[in-house]
Structure 1
Amino acid sequence: MASNPPGRCCAIGVKHEGEAQGEIKKIGDVRTYFSYPENKSTQNAIVIFTDILGIDFINVQLVADQFAANGYFTVVPDLFNGNVVPVNPPADFDLMKWVQTEMPHPPKVDPIVEATIRHLRGELGVKRLGGVGYCFGGKYVCRWLKEGKLDVGYTAHPSFVSTEELEGIKGPLSIAAAETDQIFPAEKRRESEDILQKMNVPYQMNLFSDVEHGFAVRADLSKKPAKFAKEQAFLQAVAWFDEYIKQ
């Protein structure tokens, strides 16, 4: 494994303040959050694969709106069909049971990803497509970073990524990592770096101190180091997409 399976830290975080600017629509039968750039262009687009909190968590909607504000048509498909984990679940919530019995795996998620990409590249006319994966979603950035699918990838604190999935990417990949992260700890970061060094694709890995797993989307913004790291991880993603999507 290039990163470990999810744990309780994948559902811990702070709900951010703000009002979403996008809207929930459907791609086929899948609820999807849409956020458009000011010029309404869909030529350059980003699809966000969420953590286990899903698309209705305001934080990911605000992140999608931020990408849109930077010129990228952004969509966030519901990979879980609404069956998500609540933020900061109560002590009696059995997360590991949810992971083992309820969490969707590739046979359920891959068709959603495929349908989303097909809709974007077909009906909506997307020319260049980036993938963003937070935690659980990082796996699907790696799985779909292929010719004709995702052109560019970015993931923050990924989980559930297999060695084979990372070895199989065919496009540029940027990774934002937390200093304290049992899902993507130092040994997994080094393993991932060793894999990427042997591959003929551009890559980047930034490590942020004083933050934990989930910081790029669920950071406590009242803490200066966490706020700084979250903002820098987002700017990392935008700079990466500006380099490899806006051609």
Structure 2
Amino acid sequence: MTSNNLSRCCTLGSLHDGEAKGEIENIDTISTYFAYPADRSTENAILILTDVIGHRFINTQLIADQFAAAGYFVVMPDLFSGDAVPLNRPEGFSIMDWLKNHLPAQTEPIIDAVLKEMRENLGCKRIGGVGYCFGGKYVCRYLKPGKLDAGYTAHPSLVEADELRGVEGPLSIAAAVRDFVFTTAKRHESEEILDKKEIPYQINMFSDVEHGFAVRCDLSKPRQKYAKEQAFTQAVSWFDEYVKKQ
């Protein structure tokens, strides 16, 4: 694997202040957060595949709104059918027991239905995929023609080497210096795999942060706040190049 299994750090973090500007509607029976750019265009789109805290987490909704402000139509579905993990999960909670109900067999039909809706009915011509932690695995699995046109993941988890070898589009990765899931060894393995491929790729390393920083860092700490903001800027710059310009 190029990133390890989910662990305790995948459920911990800080709650951010703000008011979401998007709206939650259903795609079939899938609860989905939508955020629109100022011109309401849906041609350049971003599909956010969340961490285990899910699509109703205010931190991720605020990020979706930021992508919309940058000119993208954003779609963020509930990947967990109402079974997202609470932030700073309750005592005794087993993330690996939870994961047994959220494997590709349960997750991919949701992503398939959402992508079909985006391509066929919502007018999305090009789609970038954003994967935080849990979602990073599926950015890699779906980074193929007709699915995702470009990908970005921050502190990915659960990614297997063959999944990374199978990506067929531009991929950008934001990594934390202290990460028990996307470890230094796993990052180096990822670099070796990507360097053998013909696709554009990028891996940025951020100091003073841990797994989850791009979504759940402590914004009262300046270096963490800066890293989160720069990881977001990294994603927008990547999509401006490989989604909007194509």
* Bin of the TM-score, shorter chain as denominator length: over 0.9
Q: What is the CA-CA distance between 1:97 and the residue it aligns to?
A: 2.7
Per-residue deviation at 1:94?
2.9
Find 1:201's aligned residue among 177, 182, 199: 199
Distance 1:110 1:96 in 2: 19
Aligned-CA RMSD value:
0.8
The letter of the residue matching 1:211 is V
**Equivalent position of 1:212 in the other structure:** 210
- State the alpha-carbon separation in 1 of the partners of residues 81 and 36 from structure 2: 23
Residue 55 of structure 2: aligned partner: 55
Please tell me whether residue 92 in structure 1 is matched to residue 92 in structure 2. yes
Q: Pick from 135, 138, 143: which aligns with 1:137? A: 135
Distance 1:97 1:71 in 2: 39
Residue 124 of structure 1 is matched in structure 2 by 122
2:6/2:95 contact within 8 Å kept: no
Letter in 2 for 1:52: V
Residue type matched to 2:13 in 1?
G
Displacement of 1:108: 1.0
Q: Residue deviations 1:199-243, cap 9 Å, x none? A: 010000000011000000001000011000000000000000000
Whole-angstrom CA distance in 1 between matches of 2:93 and 2:141 = 30
Does the alignment pair 1:154 with 2:152? yes
Matched, 1:40 2:36: no
The aligned residue for residue 11 of structure 1 is 11
TM-score, length-normalised on structure 2? 0.98
User: Where in structure 2 are the equivalents of 1:215-230 lying within 5 Å?
Assistant: 215-230=213-228
1:210 partner SS: strand
2:33, 2:55 within 8 Å by CA — same for their partners in 1? yes
Name segments (4+ residues, structure 1) moved above 4 Å.
none
Superimposed CA distance per residue, residues 53-72 of structure 1 (whole angstroms, 9 cap, x where no aligned partner):
01111001000000000000
Quote the offset at 1:98 in angstroms.
2.2
Q: What SS does the aligned partner of 1:245 have?
A: helix
Alpha-carbon distance, 1:85 to partner:
1.1
Gaps of 5+ in 1: none
User: What SS class does the counterpart of residue 89 from structure 1 fall into?
Assistant: coil
Contact 2:141–2:167 under 8 Å retained in 1: yes
Output the amino acid matched with 2:78.
D
* Contact 2:172/2:203 (8 A) holds in 1: yes
Pairing partner for 1:191 from 189, 200, 203 = 189
Instruction: State the AA in 2 paired with 1:194.
Output: E
CA distance in 1, matches of 2:108, 2:237: 27
**Equivalent residue of 1:85, what SS?**
coil
- Which residue of structure 2 lines up, in the alignment, with residue 80 of structure 1? 80
SS in 1 for 2:244: coil
List alignment gaps of at least 5 residues for structure 2. none
Q: Distance in 1 between matches of 2:107 and 2:90?
A: 27
Deviation at 1:84, TM superposition (A): 1.4
| Separation in structure 2 between the aligned mates of residue 240 and residue 93 of structure 1, nearest angstrom | 36
TM-score where L is the length of structure 1: 0.98
How far the C-alpha of 1:93 sits from its partner, in A, is 2.4
| d(CA) in 1 for partners of 2:79, 2:230 | 26
- Percent of aligned pairs with the same amino acid: 61
Partners of 1:118 and 1:89 lie apart in 2 by 33
C-alpha deviation, 1:112, in angstroms: 0.8
